[in-house]
Amino acid sequence: MISEKLQKALNEQITAEMWSANLYLSMSFYFEKEGFEGFAHWMKKQSQEELDHAYKMASYLIERGGSALVDKIDVVPTGWGNPLEVFKHVYDHECHVSKLINDLLTLAQEEKDFATQSFLWDFVKEQIEEEATAQGIVSKLEKAGDAGLFCIDAELGKR
Ligand code: MG
């Protein structure tokens, strides 16, 4: 059985993952309105992945005898200046999420909950990929300038 402390922390992470899903959905809508179909598609997939993280954490909590909660989700940002600004925001957000996961793992270590530590390592590894992917897109956008924007848009549309 999972401890109350870890159960509470994992439920807070579920809320954070759902907030991330909404953030990326908001970015997807922004791109759709701006005519970047590829970026919009990429963001929708990213949003779905965040929901999948929340579902995975909920199932894990239930498996361990805990309860998973759907809590209130705060509003997410809605306005950006250009695609580069959006992807810089994605990178910063993923670094923040990495910190949240690291804090959770630290708590699982303090609680001597080895099962939860093992469960969380997948998310630690996932964050390496998330940060690298966002940083990669930022670099491409910085090099491409306005003329190359639609090439990157087409590329991300293939996700
Ligand atoms: Mg996530």
How high is the pLDDT of residue 147? Answer: 79
For the chain, the helix, strand and coil percentages under 3-state DSSP, each to the nearest 5: 80, 0, 20
Cβ-based neighbour number of residue 70 at 10 Å: 11
For residue 17, report the distance from its CA to the centre of ligand 1, in Å.
5
Give 36-95 pLDDT, tens digit per residue: 999 999 999 999 999 999 999 999 999 999 999 999 999 999 999 999 999 999 999 999
Angle among Cα 147, 30, 142 to the nearest 5 degrees reads 35
For residue 53, report the distance from its CA to the centre of ligand 1, in Å.
5
For residue 147, report the distance from its CA to the centre of ligand 1, in Å.
32
Q: Is 82 helix (H, G, I), strand (E, B) or coil?
A: coil
For residue 16, report the distance from its CA to the centre of ligand 1, in Å.
8
Domains and CATH numbers, the chain: 4-156 (1.20.1260.10)
For residue 35, report the distance from its CA to the centre of ligand 1, in Å.
26
Q: What is the Cα–Cα distance from 130 to 95, expressed in whole angstroms?
A: 9
For residue 142, report the distance from its CA to the centre of ligand 1, in Å.
25
Answer yes or no: is pLDDT of 159 > 90. Answer: no
Q: What is the Cα–Cα distance from 53 to 122, expressed in whole angstroms?
A: 11
**pTM score:** 0.94
